[in-house]
Each structure stands twice: as C-alpha cells, then as structure tokens.
Structure 1
C-alpha cells in the first residue's frame, strides 16, 4: 500500500506543473554497463537528459558516447556512491549547470555473494555491501534531494531485489540480501516523509537479469530496465509512492 503520512505532519501541495520529458534531468548511478546502462538508454530515448554516473570516467565517457550515437542526450559524470566527496561535488555540479534534478535512479549495486552463508560470511563483505547498496544510495539521495524540493517535483527509484523482501526464503547472498532489505526500509521511510511534496519514492526489483552481476540465463536486460524507467517516469496523478514493484506490479516488502 502507499506510504501513509503520520497524523499531524504537514504535507506540501506544490501545484507545480509536471515538466515535459525533454525538460527533465536524470541521474543514474552505476550506469556505464548492464542494467544502469540500459536504464540510461531508455530514459534518453524518451527525451530525458541523462547524467550517466560511473566510478571510472573513461568507462563512463565510452558508455555515454555509445548512447549519444543513438540520438540521446547523455553526459558522463564521475560518481562513486561510496565517496562522499564524489557525491557532494556532483550535487554541486548539477546545481550549477542545471539548477534541478528530476529523476534519481539509485542503481549502483554490488556484492552478490551467492556462495556465502549467513553463519560464515566475511563481515567485511557485509560492511562493503551496506556501504554501496544502502549508504551509497542514501547519501546520494540526501545530496540531490534539495534540487527536487526546489521545484516540487522528483522521482527517486531505488533498484532493489526480491531477495531483500522480509518474507523471502533462502540463505544465499546474505550480505546482498540484508543490504537490499535495508534499502527497502529506507525507501518506505523517505516516501512517508516526502508524501504530498511532488516527489515520489519507490523501489523496483528488475528480476533476475542477464548482467555481469546476475550472470547468464536471466531475462533480457531491457525487460528488467523497463520497470525501473516506468517508476522514473510516473505521472503526478495518481501519486504512486512508497511501493515495491516488479514489472509495474506491486510486490510484498
């Protein structure tokens, strides 16, 4: 169900017009390959200006150049979500060059520890998974949120996983699983806080996709990315906020 506002908490109704896709600025983290790259492609194909986040600038430039050949407006930006300096510098750059950010896709993720067990996993690996999958998304969101609040419009999409659902079964991928469960919790809290502000916050599970992290045998990347792009382009009405989705269908937390 949608995020519910706590009694007595004021909600802002901005009445700001929804920007046309060609006016929207999107930031996609971890976008130089795989799922993030395809999300950037699909957003650019809809006319959105895409800031393609990549830890390594050369790889980001190569990916952006490939997408620009398809006619989209794609700009590479240096972004390691675990680096507070990278996050702050990028937020300042977006503010200075665009004065707004309409879409944030927290896609950067890692540490799919499929061969680990919760009773014996390396705790350093758990810390690293949390640093990337949870804290990285958290601090990036905090840094750019004022750019959305300025215009009363925004879409925040946290790329999660069904294995992070509380009632999901299995013991594999403990570090990854716990980090995505924590990301889901953050999604719900932020959605509740921002309800009525014009900023929609949702989590999306792309399913098992055939990427470097997911491995062979998964669904086509374009199918997994489509659900993320749907959440990034949600209309203002009805306000779909605080949900967990796969293929545009709500799933259990």
Structure 2
C-alpha cells in the first residue's frame, strides 16, 4: 500500500482521526481533512511522515475545489465528516436544524465525492467509505439494537438519523453507477463511540479506534470485496 493515497474528511478528531492513523500505519499517504487548521496540524504531526494536512470544509464549495485541485490521484476516500448535535424528534426539530445537518452529512458527501471522482478514477482500485450510523437503519428502528435503544427508539434524533438514511441510499446509487469502473462503495455503521458528536456519544464507552478498524477494512477491500453494502464495524451486514 506504499504507493496508495487516502483522504479522510473530518480527520482531526474522533473516529476520523483514528481512521487516518490506521491508514497511515498500513502504509498509505493520508490526507488529513480538517476544517480546523490547528487541530489538523496536530494530528498530522502526531501521525508523522505519511500524513498530509488538507484544510477542508465539506460545506464550502471553494474549500472543496481547492482540495480537489491539490489531489491528482486518490485511491481511498473516507467520507467521515458529520454532525449530529440535534437529538429532538421530527416534530420538535426546526427546518434550520434539518438543513444544517443535511448540509454536512448528505450534501457535503455528494460535493466532496463528485469533486474527487476524477482523482479516484486514476486509481487502479478506488474505494469509497461513507461513515453512516446504525441509527440510520430503518430495519433497526424497532429499538432492538443498543445503537437505537432508549429514547432513540421513540424517534429522537430525526435530523441526524434521516440524514444517515439518505447517505445509505447515496451509497447504493454511487456503488451501482461506479461498479463498472472498479469502485467499491460501502457504508459503515461504526456503533456508539466515545466522541463529541453529541452528549450521548461522549458518555459512551465505545472505543473509536475499534470503529475506525471497520472503516479501514472497507477502505482496503480486495477486488472481490463487496460494494453497495451497509456493514457494521465488526463486518456484519446491517439492514437498510
């Protein structure tokens, strides 16, 4: 993998930071996508020689265009950047909250992916990993899984969860469109992890490095690996 290149969005903290670290440890040159220059620089310095800082705001067209201009060839794109601070049910969530969440979790993924498709097409084995959420699974909405237990089973977090359901659909559409070109496009359910996504995540005991390992596995899939799938961090299939 020493000649391979990856970009991880939102890589200055949380699961994204661990994905960047693990990809670099596997020998890839990793662009650490970060909206915050100082946080991104810290992560790059800690990772060392295989890391490159890429200032990237997935909600800003100019930032995306500049990032795409810098990257000539790309083997792996991990769409990890996401927000999920609004935990109210649909009836208690204002439209601005929905728009803000979708701007990052859905529109940002489309904008970044489309901008980097030319670079990915230059790779002999392009891979796209969309970091989704088990809470976006309609099949798990009955509350039988720990990701959607308690208040989440009653329909809370509607903006975040519906944005991840939309991301899952986009994963399928990209996988279908790009299959003939050798792309592998999959979505990951990372599980509830100790991050600053929201208070519930921050209070959890889930190791973000464990979720990152699941993303890295999808990023490094062999040519006979799956595409258009929604997979858990442990490799199990997640219902749409």
Pairwise same-fold verdict (TM > 0.5): yes
- SS in structure 1 at match of 2:214: helix
CA contact (8 A) 2:137 2:238 kept: no
- SS in structure 1 at match of 2:222: coil
Q: Does 1:155 align with 2:142?
A: no
Structure 1: runs of 5 or more not aligned: 1-20
Instruction: After TM superposition, give the deviation of residue 152 of structure 1 in Å.
Output: 4.0
Correspondence for 2:145: none
Structure 1 counterpart of 2:2, from 22, 31, 49: 22
CA contact (8 A) 2:74 2:122 kept: no
Distance 1:151 1:31 in 2: 22
Instruction: After TM superposition, give the deviation of residue 111 of structure 1 in Å.
Output: 2.3
Instruction: After TM superposition, give the deviation of residue 113 of structure 1 in Å.
Output: 2.0
Show CA shifts across 1:80-109 (max 9, x none). Answer: 0000111111001112xxxx1000000000
- SS in structure 2 at match of 1:201: strand
Distance 1:22 1:201 in 2: 22
Distance 2:133 2:202 in 1: 15
Q: What is the TM-score when the length of structure 1 is the normalising length? A: 0.86
If each structure's helix is expressed as a fraction of its own residues, which one has the higher value?
2
- SS in structure 1 at match of 2:71: helix
What number of residue pairs does the alignment pair up?
Answer: 224
Correspondence for 1:103: 76
Correspondence for 1:119: 91
Correspondence for 2:148: none
Correspondence for 1:192: 176
- SS in structure 2 at match of 1:167: coil
Distance 1:120 1:207 in 2: 25
Distance 1:128 1:206 in 2: 22
Q: Does 1:132 align with 2:112?
A: no
Correspondence for 1:218: 205
Structure 2: runs of 5 or more not aligned: 142-152
CA contact (8 A) 1:111 1:125 kept: no
After superposition, the CA RMSD in angstroms is: 1.1
CA contact (8 A) 2:20 2:30 kept: yes
Show CA shifts across 1:55-100 (max 9, x none). Answer: 01121111110111xxx510111000000111111001112xxxx1
Correspondence for 1:88: 65
Q: Does 1:144 align with 2:116?
A: yes
CA contact (8 A) 2:140 2:239 kept: no
